[in-house]
């Protein structure tokens, strides 16, 4: 399978999964609603975020963050395309990672364009200590970044082994 097809399949799968789960959450839970799934560890919630990760820039008193985040995301998608073009066909870790990152970026971009905010719904916690709520797109971004790091480690190790 070619690199563009593999990355595209990952991106498409993550975008569809992200948007489908967000639609289900909106249909199932009212805004700011929650349901305990695994007591002491995991809740399903319905929260919105106008900002970025961990609520950075999530403020209603500033109006520039949504257009800025849309522009940044589009630029990042262009950079992902550039990196993919430069990636060797055999580097499945990098190709898959870029596809996952692209799919996550597209999933949250759809929310920002459509709603002016991102829907988050996964709430993991231990006792009173909560990880900030996130979504499938955020998970895809994180796993994709991990795959890119694995690729970089493998290639760095291969370069040092051949010296």
Q: Where are the domains of the chain?
A: 3-161
Q: Which residues of the chain have pLDDT under 50?
A: none
Catalytic positions are 120, 138
pLDDT tens column, 84-131: 999 999 999 999 999 999 999 999 999 999 999 999 999 999 988 999
Spatial CB neighbours of 136, under 8 Å, sequence gap ≥ 6: 14, 17, 18, 21, 22, 104, 107, 122
Q: According to the model, what pLDDT value does residue 29 have?
A: 98
- The overall longest dimension of the chain from CA atoms, in Å, is 59
What is the distance between the alpha carbons of residues 67 and 113, in angstroms, rounded to a whole number?
Answer: 9
- Enter the pTM of the model: 0.91
Tokens of 148: 């890119």
Q: According to the model, what pLDDT value does residue 57 have?
A: 67
Taking alpha carbons only, the member of 16, 155, 18 closest to residue 94 is 155
Q: According to the model, what pLDDT value does residue 64 have?
A: 84
Integer CA distances (angstroms), 149 to 22, 30, 70, 104, 162, in order? 28, 38, 25, 17, 20
What is the distance between the alpha carbons of residues 155 and 12, in angstroms, rounded to a whole number?
Answer: 27
Rg of the chain over Cα atoms, rounded to whole angstroms, equals: 18
| 130 phi and psi angles, rounded to 5 deg | -105, 135
8-state DSSP, 87: S
Q: According to the model, what pLDDT value does residue 60 have?
A: 72
Q: According to the model, what pLDDT value does residue 15 have?
A: 98
Spatial CB neighbours of 40, under 8 Å, sequence gap ≥ 6: 125, 126, 127
Q: According to the model, what pLDDT value does residue 108 have?
A: 97
């Amino acid at each position: 399978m070619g690199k563009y097809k593999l990355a595209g399949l990952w991106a498409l799968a993550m975008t569809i999964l992200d948007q489908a789960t967000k639609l289900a959450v909106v249909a199932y839970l009212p805004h700011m609603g929650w349901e305990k799934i695994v007591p002491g560890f995991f809740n399903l919630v319905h929260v919105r975020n106008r900002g970025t990760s961990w609520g950075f820039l999530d403020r209603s008193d500033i109006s520039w963050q949504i257009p800025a985040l849309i522009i940044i995301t589009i630029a990042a998608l262009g950079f992902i395309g550039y990196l993919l073009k430069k990636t060797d066909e055999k580097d499945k870790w990098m190709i898959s990672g870029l596809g996952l990152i692209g799919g996550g970026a597209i999933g949250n971009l759809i929310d920002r364009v459509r709603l002016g905010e991102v829907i988050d719904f996964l709430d993991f916690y231990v006792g009173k200590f909560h990880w900030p709520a996130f979504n499938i797109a955020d998970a895809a971004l994180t796993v994709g970044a991990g795959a890119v790091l694995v690729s970089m480690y493998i290639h760095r190790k291969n370069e040092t082994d051949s010296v």
